[in-house]
Amino acid sequence: MNFISDNTAGASPNVMAAIAAANDGTASAYGTDLWTQGAERRFAEIFEHEVAVFLVTSGTAANALALASITRPWGAVLTHEESHVADDECGAPEFFSDGAKLIGLPGAGNKIPPDLVTRTLARFREGALHQVQPQALSITQATECGTIYSLDEIGALKAAAAPRGLAVHMDGARFANALVTLGCSPAEMTWKAGVDVLSFGGTKNGAWAAEAVIFFDPAKAGELKWRRKRAGQTLSKGRLIGAQFDGLLADGHWLDLARHANAMAARLASAVDKSSEARLAWPCQANAVFPILSAALQTRLKEAGVGYLPWSERSLPEGVTLAEGEVVGRFVMSFSTQEAQVERLAALIEA
């Protein structure tokens, strides 16, 4: 029973079939192929907007290149202090932006409060020679704690960033999981709410290695083709990335995969609610569940061979504390998580 990450799953059969089809025969190189061009058109249809699309192989590459394109070396990116770009990308955003500073902000459930953005920006004098200049705000949807920004919350963050002209970047590694929970359109969760650049995640949602940087104003994406090439992310056989999106996005397959993962997480969250030895640290809103586990339950899970990650308690809601021996656990569901495995885990937690 491995619930450590949605990265442990392989690729969906639809994606593998699309890769196999693209592998048959020859095609033009470096993203000039029909599969890449088809993926670019499909993204424009999904987002109901003209977009500039750049396919890459990893979420770190997508985030780092996106932020580098909207932040100068003397600039700064406001983000949550426990966001993926701050904690899990080995300095890639700083490296690819030639030194732009990441400024981590606290917030329960890994969500940044808009008023904190306003207060933080007030600390940095516009045009001050001795200070970095904030130029971007990066949010994660769904967050590292499995919580989701509502459309109103995204709009409020955009409003807080707008007076200083900050571009808004969304790390959408689990974009599909958030989207099906909100029940809105991709357009409503991005450019209509004020997002300027999106890192669209495919890998955690059934692709093999496929991410996309999407600019909702193509005029602002002019330098990314060179940045991508310089970063070693312009693949000669780029059709094999485009093909993954072909298999993933066709007929709403990406949303079906996300719905399954979310449903499995909801089942586990229900078991936590019924348990006397666990309680939810944050609401289950996507495909991850974060229960606070008693020492006895931790032992029972270990003996049963359940894989999960101990998680940080820094972003717990105000007033929520851990008793002696308790830990926050992270359990992540994927498109391939089997219902029988979740029921076995639920039985252990409810026992």
For 70-80, write each residue's pLDDT tens digit: 999 999 999 99
pLDDT one-digit tens code per residue, 179-224: 999 999 999 999 999 999 999 999 999 999 999 999 999 999 999 9
Q: Mean pLDDT for the chain?
A: 97
Q: What is the pLDDT of residue 351?
A: 83
In the chain, what are the domain boundaries? 10-253, 255-350
CA–CA separation, 69 and 323 (whole Å): 44
pLDDT one-digit tens code per residue, 320-343: 999 999 999 999 999 999 999 999
**For residue 79, what is the enclosing H or E element?**
strand 75-80
Distance from CA of residue 16 to its chain's centroid?
22
Contact residues for 235 (Cβ-Cβ < 8 A; gap 6+): 30, 31, 57, 241
Q: What is the pLDDT of residue 37?
A: 96
How far CA 210 is from CA of 21, 129, 200, 286, in Å, comes to: 16, 40, 9, 20
CATH code 3.40.640.10 for 10-253: yes
Domain 255-350, CATH? 3.90.1150.10
pTM beyond 0.95, yes or no: yes
Tokens of 169: 């970047």
CA–CA separation, 61 and 55 (whole Å): 10
Length of the chain: 351
CA–CA separation, 227 and 90 (whole Å): 18
